[in-house]
Amino acid sequence: MSDSWRAVDAYIAGKLLGDDDALAAALANNEANGLPPIDVSAAQGKMLFLLAQIAGARRILEIGTLGGYSTIWLARALPEDGELVTLEIEEAHARVARANLDRAGVSDRVDIRVGPASDSLAAMTGAAPFDFVFIDADKQGNAHYVAEAIRLGRSGTTIVVDNVVREGGVLDPDSGDPRIDGTRALFDMLNADARIDATAVQTVGVKKWDGFILARVR
């Protein structure tokens, strides 16, 4: 089945995404530097770009930079004077991301903060709220990251959380996998939180069977 999913993703990319030198170079540079191939797919990247534009985002927060593949998609959605803050724990990943963002011509709009995301977030205030937040780091932190996104957002802020289905793994309360437990804790938090409206969308494609949460701060 996943062969068909892959083929359809290639069809979608061929028809709707076009060739993109900066994005292709970013993936090649990630691989050359030994980064794991866990970036969002091209179709998901384009979706993030579209969602950020539909939201009219001028300030974007990303948690989990890796090599900046999703960062490039999101930064391109910003207006000239827009800003994207992206949080990454690994200096080696941030170094690769800086080169990729430079090549894509979006470095002027992107601020990479290196360190544990919870520390970087704790140092931030909601004075200039974020319009759009993409959460894609350690899954154990998911519930905390959404709480911080609400604190640093405003009414109407869009939140997307990646990898919340994991081939159905999300159903297992006894997986022993802290990433699954972290995502289940996020679903439990959203279930009880009156500050936010949320849904989750399942996806198949080059990243197999997974999904994302889409939420809006009330």
Residues lying near Mg ion in the complex (CB under 5 A) are found at 136, 162-163
Q: What letter would DSSP give residue 170?
A: G
Question: Least distance from C-beta 135 to ligand DHB, angstroms?
Answer: 10
**Binding partner of 9, given ligand DHB, ligand SAH, Mg ion, none, CB within 5-8 angstroms per partner class:** none
Q: What angle do CA 132, 134, 138 make, to 5 degrees?
A: 150
Residue with Cβ nearer Mg ion (129 or 169): 169
Query: Which tokens in the block code for residue 169?
Result: 């793994």
CA 32 to chain centre: 22
Alpha-carbon distance values, 97 to 39, 55, 92, 152, 169 (Å): 12, 25, 9, 24, 30
Interacting positions 22-61 with ligand DHB (CB under 6 A): 38
3-state helix/strand/coil string of 81-97 = CCEEEEEECCHHHHHHH
Question: Least distance from C-beta 58 to ligand DHB, angstroms?
Answer: 25
Q: Examine residue 162 and tell whether it contacts ligand DHB (CB under 6 A).
A: yes
Single residue of 83, 136, 148, 210 touching ligand SAH by CB under 6 A: 136
Interacting positions 66-125 with ligand DHB (CB under 6 A): none
Residue with Cβ nearer ligand DHB (82 or 143): 143
How many residues of this chain interact with ligand DHB, rule: CB under 6 A?
Answer: 4
Q: Examine residue 148 and tell whether it contacts ligand SAH (CB under 6 A).
A: no
Per-residue contact track with ligand SAH, 42 to 81, x per CB under 6 A? ----------------------xxx--xx-----------
Helix 2-12 vs helix 42-54: crossing angle, to nearest 10: 50
**Site residues, ligand SAH (CB under 6 A):** 38-40, 64-66, 69-70, 87-90, 93, 116-117, 136-138, 141
